[in-house]
């Protein structure tokens, strides 16, 4: 029987392999980049990420507005997941309202890290703001009753979805980047106001929608 560590290592290996060579296409705001890099164009050209991008250690920086938590977690190094770091990320993506933690799909963590690491190459170094990660069925139903967008069979309840924002990236920018990873569904939620909207990212079927 495969151990949990073996499962995680194999899952992450397959995920990384699927990302290598995948073109990343999206929009980015014009701003001066750091470290001598050229600023990104208004539209990211399709490009293949090299193996070096995927074999380096992976640190995911997240913040949870509801709980006020913020953490930078080194969760993958030397070709495998760090179990204690994985548990920490599962806790950070927990159902804050329902106060329950569940296993988060490693492929979802890869999408969040990949988007963050990609834009960091252009000097945009902001945490991934987690508006919603795992949801208990009760929490999901409560959102539906309040008229908040929540699918009846939401992948949030399986630990396979997150609603996110990254500072300095609007919905079109972030959604286009997440979509380009081709790892699941992407929902664009456009909202006015100082905080703006958000992006739903999941590891289900490849599809897009606007809410």
Alpha-carbon gap, residue 26 to 43, rounded angstroms? 6
Strand order in the sheet with 128-132: 80-81, 69-77, 58-64, 128-132, 161-166, 198-202, 186-189, 208-210
The DSSP H or E segment spanning 179 is helix 171-180
What local confidence, expressed as pLDDT, does residue 48 receive?
52
Q: Are 39 and 30 in contact (CB under 8 A)?
A: yes
Handedness of CA 24, 29, 34, 38 (dihedral sign): positive
Residues of the chain with pLDDT under 50: 1-47
What local confidence, expressed as pLDDT, does residue 211 receive?
87
Per-residue pLDDT tens digits for 154-202: 999 999 999 999 998 889 988 988 888 888 999 999 988 777 899 999 9
The DSSP H or E segment spanning 6 is helix 4-19
Triad 132, 138, 140: Cα angle to 5°: 40
What local confidence, expressed as pLDDT, does residue 180 receive?
85
Alpha-carbon gap, residue 132 to 103, rounded angstroms? 14
Provide CB contacts within 8 A for 177, sequence distance 6+: 24, 25, 26, 28, 44, 115, 118, 119, 169
Q: Are 49 and 21 in contact (CB under 8 A)?
A: yes
Secondary structure letter of residue 145 according to DSSP: H
Q: Are 160 and 103 in contact (CB under 8 A)?
A: no
Task: State if pTM tops 0.75.
Answer: yes
Alpha-carbon gap, residue 117 to 9, rounded angstroms? 20
Q: To which residue do tokens 């290996």 refer?
A: 13
């Amino acid at each position: 029987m495969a151990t949990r560590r073996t499962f995680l290592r194999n899952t992450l290996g397959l995920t990384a392999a699927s990302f290598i060579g995948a073109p990343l296409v999206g929009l980015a705001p014009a701003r001066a980049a750091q470290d001598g890099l050229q600023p990104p164009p208004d539209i990211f050209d399709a490009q293949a990420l090299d193996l070096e991008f995927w074999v380096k250690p992976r640190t995911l920086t997240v913040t949870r507005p509801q709980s006020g938590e913020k953490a930078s977690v080194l969760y993958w190094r030397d070709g495998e997941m760090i179990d204690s770091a994985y548990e920490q990320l599962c806790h950070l993506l927990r159902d804050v309202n329902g106060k329950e933690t569940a296993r988060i799909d490693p492929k979802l963590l890869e999408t969040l890290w990949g988007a963050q690491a990609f834009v960091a190459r252009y000097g945009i170094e902001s945490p991934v703001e987690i508006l919603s990660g795992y949801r208990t069925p009760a929490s999901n139903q409560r959102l539906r009753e309040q008229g908040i967008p929540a699918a009846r069979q939401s992948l949030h309840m399986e630990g396979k979805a997150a609603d996110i924002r990254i500072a300095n990236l609007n919905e079109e920018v972030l959604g286009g980047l997440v979509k380009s990873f081709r790892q699941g569904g992407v929902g664009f939620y456009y909202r006015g106001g100082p905080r703006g909207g958000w992006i739903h990212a999941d590891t289900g079927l490849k599809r897009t929608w606007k809410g």
